[in-house]
């Protein structure tokens, strides 16, 4: 069959995408503007753009997901692009054909872009009559549902009985430290200062009783500090000295500061001597 004799009707052609819709009406992907009535819709579909790679089974498996197929064949009567094939699919009802067209149109299939359109010219008189009768039934069914929803009385709202909820017990965390409690905080501070401040007489007796005894490396006594006795300081940071103590002595606080101090003995360096036997 020559290409000039092949059929390509106006409703088979793919229209350009609409790019002038308002943003609130535009969906996630661009679509063409075309209105379908019950006469335009059909259970017959034409699939254009299938690559000619012997993909009949794969294409049929793709379309059979949406409903029962009565036939699925390759058509040579319709025009097709080079290296592509055109298929004719017939569903049992119009509803699965409507869903299949919506889901599979402009789908990428084995490197080709499918174009799915209705083909009402394949319908017989009986199929068209059944289609119109089914449409009337659907309209009547929807109208009855709308009347039922209008005539039905409003459902009474659920009355929830009074439920007694035990409130959680609050722990007493003390007074809140805020600006309004400034006077109370000052009074508390005054009381604390009175408790912890000793008299001048007590301080004088404490200075006379306390004394520290330490020893320096040079064992030189320090000058008198206040009313205390001579103070001797131990330099524990020197590397040349080592403090030797026992656990029992360290636990005895009366002997604190009277540890034995001695210098660490210097170890001689390891020397290697070679003795050469001299021949006489």
Express each pLDDT in 77-124 by its tens digit: 888 888 999 999 999 999 999 999 999 998 999 999 999 999 999 999
The reported pLDDT for the residue numbered 177 is: 53
Beta bridge partners of 94: none
pLDDT tier at 3 (50, 70, 90 boundaries)?
Answer: low
Q: How far is CA 136 from CA 97, 130, 271, 277, in A?
A: 18, 10, 117, 129
- Looking at 134, 163, 189, which one is the last position of a domain? 134
pLDDT of residue 221: 45
Residue 240: domain span: 211-265
Total residues belonging to the chain: 280
Do residues 117 and 229 share a domain? no
What is the overall mean pLDDT for the chain? 75
CA-angle at 42, arms to 51 and 137, nearest 5°: 150
**What tokens were used for 124?**
């017989």
Distance CA 189, CA 119 (A): 96
Quick check: 21 pLDDT over 70? yes
- Considering the domain boundaries, does residue 203 fall inside one? no
Domain membership of residue 176 (yes or no) is: no
CA–CA distance, 76 with 86 (Å, rounded to integer): 7
SS (H, E, C) 227-262: CCCCCCCCCCCCCCEEEECCHHHHHCHHHCCCCEEE
Q: What are the tokens at 154?
A: 């409003």
Q: Which of 102, 134, 166 is the last residue of a domain?
A: 134
For every residue of 53-122, DSSP letters joined together read SS-HHHHHHHHGGGS-EEEEEE-SSB---TTEEEEEEEESSHHHHHHHHHHHTT-EETTEE-EEEE-GGG
Structure tokens of 139? 């309209």
Residue 153 lies in a domain: no
pTM of this prediction exceeds 0.75: no
The average pLDDT across 137-159 equals 84
Domains identified in the chain, total number: 2
Residue 163 has pLDDT above 60, yes or no: yes
Question: What residues contact 211, with CB distance under 8 A and at least 6 apart?
Answer: 228, 229, 231
Phi, psi of 84 (to 5 degrees): -130, 165
Same domain, 226 and 119: no
Among residues 134, 163, 194, the one where a domain terminates is 134
CB 66 within 8 A of CB 107: no
* Separation between Cα atoms, residue 174 and residue 187, nearest integer Å: 16
- Asked if residue 224 and residue 129 are part of one domain, the reply reads no
Q: What is the pLDDT of residues 33-65, one digit of tens each?
A: 888 888 899 999 999 999 999 999 999 999 999
Residue among 230, 236, 280 nearest 261 (CA): 236
Separation CA 150–CA 22 (nearest Å): 34
pLDDT of 8 strictly over 90: no
């Amino acid at each position: 069959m020559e290409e000039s004799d092949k059929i390509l009707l106006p409703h088979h052609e793919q229209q350009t995408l609409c790019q002038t819709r308002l943003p609130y009406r535009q969906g996630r992907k661009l679509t063409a503007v075309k209105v379908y009535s019950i006469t335009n819709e059909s259970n017959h579909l034409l699939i254009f753009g299938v690559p000619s790679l012997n993909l009949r089974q794969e294409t049929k498996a793709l379309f059979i997901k949406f409903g029962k197929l009565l036939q699925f064949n390759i058509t040579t009567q319709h025009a097709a692009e080079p290296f592509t094939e055109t298929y004719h699919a017939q569903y049992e009802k119009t509803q699965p054909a409507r869903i299949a067209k919506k889901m599979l149109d402009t789908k990428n299939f084995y490197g080709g872009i499918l174009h799915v359109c209705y083909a009402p010219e394949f319908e017989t008189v009986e199929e068209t009559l059944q289609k119109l009768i089914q449409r009337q039934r659907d309209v009547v069914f929807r109208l009855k549902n709308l009347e039922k929803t209008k005539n039905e009385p409003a459902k009474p709202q659920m009355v929830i009985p009074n439920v007694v909820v035990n409130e959680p017990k609050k722990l007493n965390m003390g007074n809140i430290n805020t600006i309004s409690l400034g006077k109370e905080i000052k009074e508390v501070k005054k009381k604390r200062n009175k408790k912890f401040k000793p008299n001048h007489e007590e301080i004088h007796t404490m200075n006379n009783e306390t004394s520290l005894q330490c020893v320096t490396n040079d064992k030189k006594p320090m000058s008198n500090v206040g009313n205390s006795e001579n103070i001797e300081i131990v330099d524990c940071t020197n590397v040349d000295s080592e403090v030797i103590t026992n656990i029992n002595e360290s636990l005895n606080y009366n002997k604190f500061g009277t540890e034995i101090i001695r210098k660490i003995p210097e170890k001689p360096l390891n020397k290697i001597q070679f003795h050469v036997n001299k021949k006489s």
